[in-house]
């Protein structure tokens, strides 16, 4: 009985991820008037604090997600690929988990290993300051701290055309090393 149920759930999850892949688009929607991104300060899984305004001068890809959300899971590997390709080019990826604890996210990273910071918004205070209605929603923030693009739903973040859009936002001489201000990154 239990095995049959587990098998059924695995099939459902696989079907969900396949559907996410089929539905994923590639567009980034420009945000009118480029509002200033609401600042926040959140801890990552290692206890390092990340303040959004400390990343001025860089392009930030800010993703709101949760482990139970199928399109969020679908886009994570491509986000990791994007991070590998751009981490030394002044592009930062921050993924804010909404409402879950460290243990849940840590278990998730066993199946979806990612190296960019996963931040915790346990009481959902940060997401409520952003124009987000559903998960995943991703914003691109330019080096001046303004929201320039938005994407609702999963994307193939390692798509070259999409990465070029991010690179176009970089100042001509972008800094190459990212350091959170409150605590140094663990090695």
Q: Which stretch binds another protein (CB under 8 A): 36-44, 49-57, 62-70, 168-176?
A: 62-70
Q: How many angstroms from the chain centroid is the CA of residue 41? A: 15
Closest contact distance (angstroms) between CB of 91 and another protein is 21
CA angle 69–73–74, rounded 5-degree value: 115
The reply to whether 134 sits near another protein by the rule CB under 8 A is: yes
The reply to whether 18 sits near another protein by the rule CB under 8 A is: no
The reply to whether 77 sits near another protein by the rule CB under 8 A is: no
The reply to whether 70 sits near another protein by the rule CB under 8 A is: yes
Radius of gyration of the chain (CA): 17
One residue of 34, 87, 146, 150 binding another protein per CB under 8 A: 150
Q: How many angstroms from the chain centroid is the CA of residue 114? A: 10
Main-chain dihedrals φ then ψ at residue 57, nearest 5 degrees: 95, -10
Closest contact distance (angstroms) between CB of 18 and another protein is 11
- What span, in angstroms and rounded, lies between the C-alpha atoms of 93 and 80? 9
Neighbour tally for 153: CB within 10 Å: 18
Number of residues that bind another protein (CB under 8 A): 38
- What span, in angstroms and rounded, lies between the C-alpha atoms of 61 and 71? 17
Contacts of 187 (CB under 8 A, 6+ apart): none
Closest contact distance (angstroms) between CB of 20 and another protein is 7
- What span, in angstroms and rounded, lies between the C-alpha atoms of 141 and 36? 9
- Residues 154-183 as x/- pattern, contact with another protein by CB under 8 A: x-----------------------------
- What span, in angstroms and rounded, lies between the C-alpha atoms of 90 and 108? 27
Of 94-113, binders to another protein (CB under 8 A) are: 98-101
One residue of 39, 47, 51, 68 binding another protein per CB under 8 A: 68
Residues that bind another protein (CB under 8 A): 1, 3-5, 8-9, 11-12, 15-16, 19-20, 23-27, 29, 66, 68-71, 98-101, 122-124, 133-135, 150-154
């Amino acid at each position: 009985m239990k095995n049959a149920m587990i098998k059924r759930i695995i099939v459902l999850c696989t079907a969900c991820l396949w559907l996410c892949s089929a539905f994923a688009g590639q567009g980034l929607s420009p945000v009118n008037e480029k509002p200033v991104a609401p600042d926040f300060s959140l801890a990552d899984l290692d206890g390092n604090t990340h303040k959004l305004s400390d990343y001025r001068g860089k392009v930030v890809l800010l993703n709101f997600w949760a482990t139970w959300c199928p399109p969020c899971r679908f886009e994570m590997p491509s986000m990791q690929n994007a991070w590998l390709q751009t981490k030394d080019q002044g592009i930062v990826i921050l993924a804010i988990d909404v409402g879950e604890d460290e243990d849940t996210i840590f278990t998730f990273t066993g199946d979806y290993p990612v190296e960019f910071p996963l931040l915790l918004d346990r009481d959902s205070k940060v997401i409520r300051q952003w124009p987000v209605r559903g998960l995943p929603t991703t914003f691109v923030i330019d080096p001046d701290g303004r929201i320039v693009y938005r994407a609702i739903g999963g994307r193939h973040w390692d798509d070259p055309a999409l990465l070029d859009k991010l690179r176009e936002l970089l100042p001509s001489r972008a800094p190459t090393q990212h350091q959170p201000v409150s605590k140094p990154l663990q090695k």
